Amino acid sequence: MSRTVVMWFRRDLRLADHRALEAAAADGARVVPLFVVDPAFAVSGAPRKAFMAAALQSLDEAMGGELVYRHGNPSTVLASLAAEVGAAAVYVTADHGCYGQSRDAAVAAALSTIGVPLVAIDSNYAVAPGTVKKGDGTPYAVFTPFCKVWRARGWDAPRAESDVRWWGATHLPCDGPPPVVNTTISLSGASEDAAHEQWQEFLPHVQDYRDRRDLPAVDGTSRLSAAVRWGLVHPRQLLADLEPSPGHDTFGNELGWREFYADVLYRRPESAWRNLNRKMDAMPVDDDAAARARFERWAVGTTGYPIIDAGMRQLAATGWMHNRVRMLVGSFLVKDLHLPWQWGARHFLRHLIDGDLASNSHGWQWVAGTGTDASPYFRIFNPTTQALRFDSDGGYVRRWVPELAHLSGSTVHDPGLLRPASYPDPMVDHAAERDEAMARYRSVGSGSR
């Protein structure tokens, strides 16, 4: 009988430059491709689930319809399937996430009872979380020195697609793909080929990335975050195409931020939903009924601050928000409305097509001043001045806030007496709330760590 192994796909929905798949193909004459529809997916937002389903369909088509879907608890499913096919091993890309580590430990234990190893290879990052360390073996708490060592450590060159003999859904029972998720959000780019085409289209413009990435009205970013999150493309495939230049270096640093936050969460898993800087637990936040009402206005984009409302409406309509605007709406939530950053982080995960726990939680903590930033309380973004700087002619706001589309130029950011009756007045006074935020931060001595 031919030696059979299982390749369990998770956040690595591609065929090229797939080290775990490469090892599986080298070990087994037959490779069973598996995706487990885990009940834990229920907590994921509809946009993420819809993109995942589309990416899985593309992966299945790329392997000739052989992808085996099984529904249920992964430890039960893997042990059952391994016994069913007589698997010699189960291969996976190592998962360094909070849930992923506990899930894989349970799967490994279940497989061990039937003598089948769970073989974890590579990671979803250019450099695996937990790898970049100081000379004394301790982790970095600040991005810049982390990024320097991360770059110095480097990563392997991408590899071509492996030659695999699939033995899957045309031979084995299949539970079918995940349930259909109804969404109006575009799922273009939800395939390995589409992700690489998108990257090749954007690559000539990376030289301008440093100058254009903060302008929400222009197409200055790669929009590959969802593809990277689901592993349609591996970060090292993108990094391999970069050259020494300001724009390319800036783009590489953005991938570095993703890896930094994954490293922080790997070392401090409780920071997914708790303050990384525990001193900040003492800072007062509002969480009463009035706070909930303010949160709802923020969530639906009726704050009366055009750039904030544009961002929240873009998120609801597309499942994506420009990164500069993510910082602005985050700052507004925690420093103008004084609400818990966790409320915003959960809202983002429900609506973002590229929702990633490490990047999301620690991006929010960076804005909130509870995470990796050494001087957080100085950064309180003024939504109007930020809008004038990064959306100077108002094109972004006019696109997403149609009530103001008739206003010309920068007037859209501060309509004054030209504000139409259909658009609300600002729900708070930024100057007053800035003072309040500073007082709250100073009350817990947030300037030192």
pLDDT over 80 at 374, yes or no? no
Tens-digit pLDDT profile for residues 324-347: 999 999 999 999 999 999 999 999
Identify the CATH number of the domain in which residue 84 sits. 3.40.50.620
pLDDT confidence tier of residue 181, bands split at 50, 70 and 90 = confident
Same domain as 301, residue 219: no
Same domain as 351, residue 251: no
Tens-digit pLDDT profile for residues 390-409: 999 999 999 999 999 999 99
Identify the CATH number of the domain in which residue 365 sits. 1.10.579.10
- Does this model's pTM top 0.85? yes
Same domain as 143, residue 118: no
Q: DSSP alpha helices (H): ranges in 283-371?
A: 289-300, 306-318, 323-331, 341-351, 357-368
The residue from 267, 287, 307 where one domain ends is 267
Same domain as 431, residue 301: yes
pLDDT of residue 101: 96
pLDDT confidence tier of residue 375, bands split at 50, 70 and 90 = low
pLDDT over 80 at 445, yes or no? no
Q: DSSP alpha helices (H): ranges in 352-445?
A: 357-368, 383-390, 395-400, 430-443
pLDDT confidence tier of residue 83, bands split at 50, 70 and 90 = very high
Same domain as 140, residue 86: no
Same domain as 336, residue 411: yes
The total number of structural domains in the chain stands at 3
234 half-sphere exposure, CB direction, 13 A CA radius: 26
| Phi and psi angles of residue 406, each rounded to the nearest 5 degrees, phi first | -80, -10
Range of the domain at 53: 4-123
pLDDT of residue 125: 98
Same domain as 337, residue 225: no
pLDDT confidence tier of residue 43, bands split at 50, 70 and 90 = confident
Same domain as 438, residue 298: yes
The residue from 102, 123, 144 where one domain ends is 123
pLDDT over 80 at 309, yes or no? yes
pLDDT over 80 at 54, yes or no? yes
Identify the CATH number of the domain in which residue 223 sits. 1.25.40.80
Q: Is 180 within the bounds of a domain? A: no
The residue from 123, 142, 174 where one domain ends is 123
Under a CB-based contact definition with an 8 Å cutoff, are residues 110 and 76 in contact?
yes
Q: What is the CA radius of gyration of the chain?
A: 23
Same domain as 298, residue 283: yes
Range from 3-12, 179-188, 305-314 carrying the lowest mean pLDDT: 179-188
Same domain as 405, residue 286: yes
Under a CB-based contact definition with an 8 Å cutoff, are residues 370 and 376 in contact?
yes
